[in-house]
Amino acid sequence: MPIPDYETMMLPLLKSAGDEKEHSVQESVEHISELFDLTDEERRETLPSRRQETIISNRVRWASFYLRRAGLLESARRGHFKITTRGIEVLESQPSKIDIKYLEQYPEFLSFKGLRKETQKSEVKELPVEKTPEELLEAGYRSIRRNLAQELLGQVKECSPGFFEKIVVELLLRMGYGGSGKDAGEAVGRTGDEGVDGMIKEDKLGLDVVYIQAKRWGGVVGRPEIHKFVGALQGKKARKGIFITTSNFTEDAAEYVSNIETRVVLIDGEKLAELMIDNDIGVSRLATYEIKKIDTDYFSEE
């Protein structure tokens, strides 16, 4: 089943603490995972930009955080929590569920949210409850990045062939290919061989070379174009090639590349835009948001 949102986890989390013992977040993650019968893949699924934290762990952490803000749980020793008297009273009342709206009956929680008890619901703009704050930030970031990639690709498609070659050169250099800008600039777009636009050193020492085909394609690139490129590589006894296009590749072309000995990487327009963003080609930094968390080791007095 899908990973439950953090509100769905609140009541099971409080019930698990009903034994009045101390519980760790990691222990709770295992309990929730078992309770909702999550698969190994779901348990390992991480936030896109934070590979060190799983989604289930993030949501358990926020569920326990909100329960503590409402006074149903309290922090015990480092990384652990336990149920409070109020939490026991809540369990005794046998609520069908606990969510943000339920927690708003407690003044401490309203104070935490910066609200007064008399605040009208219409004045409060609620965030989607199925997402934790980090997940909302991630979703917003991905949306901005997706729109930027589309706009960037549109700009690339409108540039001249010469400028497109310049983009390819700069991108490959930023990614660690080539000996220098001069070497790369002379390599790309200069060979004139059929099926190949240029070559570039794979590393700064030039221990191997990579051949390149880079075109602003109007239509979808199919197997015939890739086959011609691979043929050109074989004619040069080359083992590696990069085929870059501003459009897309057919499934047949991608399947062909996966079944040949020559190592050919296909970079379509979407991937090209992503690489340009990752390597700061054609984009500038607008703002940076730094997310921090409590350093529990700092407060350890053991």
Looking at the 3D structure of the chain, how many domains does it have? 2
Among 97, 116, 135, which residue terminates a domain?
A: 116
Please answer whether residues 60 and 25 qualify as being in contact, where contact means their C-beta atoms are separated by less than 8 angstroms.
Answer: yes
pLDDT digits (tens, 9 = 90+) for 125-148: 454 556 788 888 887 888 788 888
Find the Cα–Cα–Cα–Cα dihedral 144, 126, 295, 24, rounded to 10°.
-120
Please answer whether residues 219 and 185 qualify as being in contact, where contact means their C-beta atoms are separated by less than 8 angstroms.
Answer: no
- The model's confidence at residue 293, banded by pLDDT at 50, 70 and 90, is confident
Specify if 41 maps to a domain. Answer: yes
Specify if 131 maps to a domain. Answer: no
SS3 86: helix
* Separation CA 171–CA 242 (nearest Å): 13
Here the CATH number for the domain that contains residue 101 is 1.10.10.10
- The model's confidence at residue 22, banded by pLDDT at 50, 70 and 90, is very high
Specify whether 153 is located in the same domain as 97.
Answer: no
Distance of CA 96 to CAs 6, 90, 92, 260, Å?
Answer: 16, 11, 12, 59
Full residue range of the structural domain in which residue 219 is found: 145-278
Q: What is the mean pLDDT of residues 20-37?
A: 93
- The model's confidence at residue 302, banded by pLDDT at 50, 70 and 90, is low
